[in-house]
Chain A
Amino acid sequence: MSVVPDEKKPTPTNQVQSDELRAQIFQRLHPHAYLDRFLVEGVRPDGRTPEEWRDAFINVGSVSTADGSALVRIGGTTIVCGVKAEIAEPELDTPDQGFLVPNIDLPAICSPKFKPGPPSEEAQVLSERLNAALVSTQLLPLTTLCIEPGRSVWCLYVDATCINYDGNAFDAALLAMVAALRNTTLPVATYNEETGRTTCRSRTTRHPLSLNRDKLITGLSFGVVPTPSVPLDPTAFEEPLLIRAFSVVVDVQGRVVFVEGGVCGKSGTDYDGDEGSTLIEKSIQAAQERAKILHQLLQ
C-alpha cells in the first residue's frame, strides 16, 4: 500500500488529505507513539489538555415505559438508563429490605470491539463496579423499598445500555443510574393480608424514591500513562493505552466515597510511593472540582 503523497505536484487539498491519511495510519500502527507525541505537547488527540474533562449532558424521563430514565452523554459516550420496578418477596434474613439490581449492557451496537451475545468481561466487571458504588454508598436505603415486611418489597432493576462507546463508560453509567433513580417514581402499593397479593391502586399516583440527598454520587475516572500526567476522562482510543486506570467516587459534599483501580490497561510499572500519592491527591482534587459541575447538572 502506497501512502507516499504524489511528489510531482502536490496540490494543497491533496497534501492535506494525504497528511490526514498518514496520521491515521500512524495512529493505527503505533498508537502508543501517537498518543505520546500529543502528550509531550500537552494536548490529547481530541484537542483537550490532559486535565480537561469532556462536556457532559443529561436528559431525564424520556423513556415512558420505564419508571425512571436518563440519557447521559459524556463526549461521544452515550448511555441510556432505565429503572423498572417489580414486586418480589424479600430475603429471609432481611425481611424489610428491597432490592436494587444495577446492570450495564455493552451491546455490539456501541463499538466494534464488542460482539453480540452474553455480556463481555468488560461489561461484567463494569456491572460489579457500579453495583459496589451504588450499594456501598447507600444512596437508596433499601428499607424504603419495603411494602410489607417479610411479604413483599420493591425490586428496582436499574439497567443501563450503552449506545455509543467512546471510553469512560463507568462515569457515564454511574451518572445515568443516579439520574434515573432521581427520576424514578413508584406507584402506591398495598399488601392484602387475606389474598396474599400486592396491588397498586392507580397508575397516576406516584411518589419519588426517598434517596439520601447528601449521598448522591458521581464517578470520575483517570488514566495513568508513562509520562507524568494523568489524562482524565479517557476516550476509547486512549483507554487501551493506559498502564493503569482508576476511578474516584465523590458525593455531594465532595467527600471521597471510594477509590478503586480500574479494569483497563495492563499492569505495568507504577509510580514510586511519593509520586503515586501526590498523583492520587491531585486526582481527588480534580474529581471534587468536576463533581460540583456534575451535581449541578443532576439538579
Chain B
Amino acid sequence: MAQSTFDRRRVNGPEESFSPVFDEEDDAELGWTVKHGRGLADIRPIFLQPGLVSQANGSAYIETEKTKLACAVYGPRQSKTTTYSERGRLNVEVKFAPFSCVRRRSPLRDAEDRAVAIAVYQSIVSSICLELFPKSTIDVFIVVIENDGIEGCIASGSIAASTALADAGIEMLGLVASCSAGVRGDEIRLDPVEKEAAAADGTVILACMPALSSITNVYQSGRVSVQGALKCMELCQDRCIDVHAVMAQSLLSSRTSTG
C-alpha cells in the first residue's frame, strides 16, 4: 500500500510501494467452496493461554488456526481525565501488526482497528462491574499478530479480552464468549475464515455470557433474512457454551500452574 505521509518518527521506505500482483489470481467465489475439514457448525479449535504478558495486570493470547492475537489488561488505574466519574471507564484499543494481513497495513491508524475496538468494547462492557471502579480506567489493549477474517478477529478479541479481564481479577458478571457466522443462501457456516466471509452474503457476530444465558452484543452485516439471522444467533449461542468451557478451563489451569 502506498505510504501517503512521510513520518519522521519511523524509518521510512520509498514514497510509494505496492503489494505484488500475481498472474494467477484466485477467484473470490471459490472461497465458499474451499474445504477446511470441519463441519458447518464447527468452529476452529481454540488455543487460549492467560497470563503471557508479565508486565500487565492480566493478559491472554488466543490462537484459532490462523487468527492470532494477544490481549493485555492494565488497570483499574487512575483516569487521565480530570472529570469525576462515578463509574469506571473501559478503554479498548486494537492494533494490527503491519504484517498481520495479506496486504501490509501502514502503521498509521486506519478505520478498521477502531471498528474492531468498538465491537470488542460492546461485547465486554456490560459484563464488567464498572460501578465498582469509580474514577478509574481499565485499559484493554489488543495486538493482532495474524488476521484471518475480521469476524473471527472480533470474536477472538472478545474472548481474549474477557479472559484477560478475569486474569486481572477484575470483577465481572460472567465470562463473555463470542462466535461468528457467515450466511450464503440457506447455508450457515460458523466461524468463517477470511475467504468464506468475503464470499458470504452476510455475517453475524454474537457475544454472550453463557453462564447467565444473556447476550451482550450482536453485530450483523450484509444481507441476511430474519430467520437466517435468528438461526445464526441460536447456533452461535450453542457454540459459545463450548467456548466458555475452554475459557474457564484455561483460566483454571493457569491458576493451578502458577499457584
Contact = CB atoms under 8 A, between A and B. Distances in A.
Interface in A68-100: 69, 76, 78, 80, 82-91, 99
Contacts of A112: 55-56, 74
Interface stretch (B125-133, B141-149, B179-187, B205-213): B141-149
Interface residues of B, number: 45
A202 B17 contact: no
Contacts of B107: 103, 105, 159
Main secondary structure of the interface of B (DSSP, over half): loop
Contact of A65 (B9, B52, B72, B146): B146
Contact of A86 (B18, B93, B97, B148): B18
A34 interface: no
A127 B11 contact: yes
Interface stretch (A6-14, A23-31, A192-200, A218-226): A192-200
A199 B24 CA distance: 10
B13 A84 contact: no
Interface string B71-114: 11010000000000000000001010111111010010000000
Interface stretch (A48-56, A161-169, A246-254, A289-297): A161-169
Interface in B6-61: 9-14, 16-24, 52-56
Contact of A99 (B10, B14, B71, B139): B14
Given A65-B100, A65-B101, A107-B141, A199 B23 contact: yes
A59 to B, nearest CB: 12
Contacts of B104: 84, 86, 157
B13 to A, nearest CB: 4
Interface in A147-203: 155, 157, 159, 161, 163-166, 187, 189, 197-203
Nearest to A85: B20
